[in-house]
Amino acid sequence: MFVSCKSVGIVIGAILLAGRAQAQEPQEQLVDLKYDVDPVLQGCPGAVEFRSIVAGQLGYDPYRPGAALGVEVRVRAAESGLEGTIDWSAADANKLGERRFTSRNQDCREMMTTVGFVVAVQIQLMATEKAKTSPPHSDNEQSTHSQQDGADLPPPVRSVTLTIRSFEVHPASSDSTKWTTLVGLGSSVAFGLAPHALVQGRLFLALQRGWVGLEAGAEASLPSTSRETYGGGHRDELFLGTLAACGYEGPFAACGVGKLGQILVRGTGVDKPASPSGFLAQVGPRLGYSLGLGNHLALLGRIEALYLLTPWTIDLNQVQVWRMPRFSGVAGIDLAARFR
């Protein structure tokens, strides 16, 4: 069952209002709330904030440690978003019911706000059932019971159920059949492409759907100058186009990368400077990690291990001064904007 955040909020709000209207004498239903969120998730509300979301819907804080009714909310990262459960149990650890929920994006705060609504609905239904099943009391009896802990015990809740056995949270305008687009820029340091480390910049466009993605980009290095003991030297620059195919697991990514382009070398401090260029081709794996910065921005860290398919040597005055190694490495960080 697919429910947008907006529609879930409207429906749940209506249920809460209806439940309050039906109870002529609303009673507080107390619960022992446990809140367990995967630490790798970003932007999730804490336990205290989640309690305030539930309390805001009910008009009171239902949390009481050791209450006869227990509810446990768990949230974990999934391949295509977030998933979790709401477990209800009695004081004797007997399980009373379970609700499952999933989200197609990584917006944990938005999803947990909706989950808080659902928990509040169930508590309000139980409070309404409690008011219906409680026998009438005289003023003296009500005064006596209000001083006893037993007044907090809920009535049997096995007959209280929600029609929503599971639900999915996603933006109302989202379409799961579409690719997510990422546009970004970044910088990196490359080792093994010149005698000294090269500082590179890059632009890229990536498409992601579920756990798979494609990326195309362009890279260029700042000039790097190397000098020999006799005063001569050379300046190196790289211009590359990149293609990558990636697989995703939560914030982690593993990609196969191919790079094609040119290496430009210019002699310095020699009698007859030349500016030769050569074709460059590299392939290798990339490992990445994504750190969300809200709904539309992310920092992407990456490391690459590349194999050179087109080895080159640099000669000055007919003397070889450097030979490009077969293996090189790149480490970088990118800032990406995400569009759905």
What's the pLDDT tens digit per position in 169-200?
Answer: 444 444 445 788 999 999 999 998 888 888 99
Q: CB-side exposure of 24: number of CA atoms within 13 Å?
A: 4
Q: Contact 235/257 with Cβ under 8 angstroms? A: no
Residue 153 domain-assigned (yes or no): yes
Q: Output the six-digit token pair for 21.
A: 């209207």
Residue 241 domain-assigned (yes or no): yes
Q: How far from 302 is each of 207, 288, 339, CA to CA, in Å?
A: 17, 4, 21
For residue 110, the SS3 value is helix
Domain count, the chain: 2
Domain end: 170, 193, 217, which one? Answer: 170
For residue 263, the SS3 value is strand
Q: What is the pLDDT of residue 39?
A: 81
Quick one: 141 and 192 in the same domain? no
Q: For 268-321, give the DSSP string.
A: ESSSS----EEEEEEEEEEEEEEEE-SSSEEEEEEEEEEEESS--EEEETTEEE
Q: Residue 228 belongs to what domain range?
A: 180-339
Q: What is the pLDDT of residue 231?
A: 62
Sign of CA dihedral 188, 189, 193, 196: positive
Q: Contact 71/34 with Cβ under 8 angstroms? A: yes
Q: Contact 184/202 with Cβ under 8 angstroms? A: no
Quick one: 79 and 202 in the same domain? no
The candidate with the shortest Cα–Cα distance to 81, out of 256, 245, 208, is 208
Quick one: 26 and 151 in the same domain? yes
**Cα gap 329→331, rounded to integer Å:** 7
Q: What is the pLDDT of residue 213?
A: 93
Residue 309 domain-assigned (yes or no): yes
pTM of the predicted model over 0.85: no
Taking each continuous run of H as one helix and of E as one strand, the counts in the chain are 4, 17
Quick one: 129 and 8 in the same domain? yes
Quick one: 164 and 189 in the same domain? no
Quick one: 24 and 111 in the same domain? yes
For residue 220, the SS3 value is strand
Q: What is the pLDDT of residue 149?
A: 44
Q: What is the pLDDT of residue 68?
A: 83
* Residue 273 belongs to domain with CATH number: 2.40.160.20
Domain end: 170, 205, 229, which one? Answer: 170
Residue 175 domain-assigned (yes or no): no
Low-confidence ranges of the chain (pLDDT < 70): 1-27, 93, 131-177, 228-232, 269-275, 316-318
Quick one: 166 and 188 in the same domain? no
Domain end: 170, 189, 216, which one? Answer: 170
Quick one: 109 and 202 in the same domain? no
Residue 304 domain-assigned (yes or no): yes
Q: What is the pLDDT of residue 269?
A: 62
**Cα gap 240→204, rounded to integer Å:** 12
Quick one: 282 and 329 in the same domain? yes
Quick one: 100 and 189 in the same domain? no
Quick one: 165 and 210 in the same domain? no
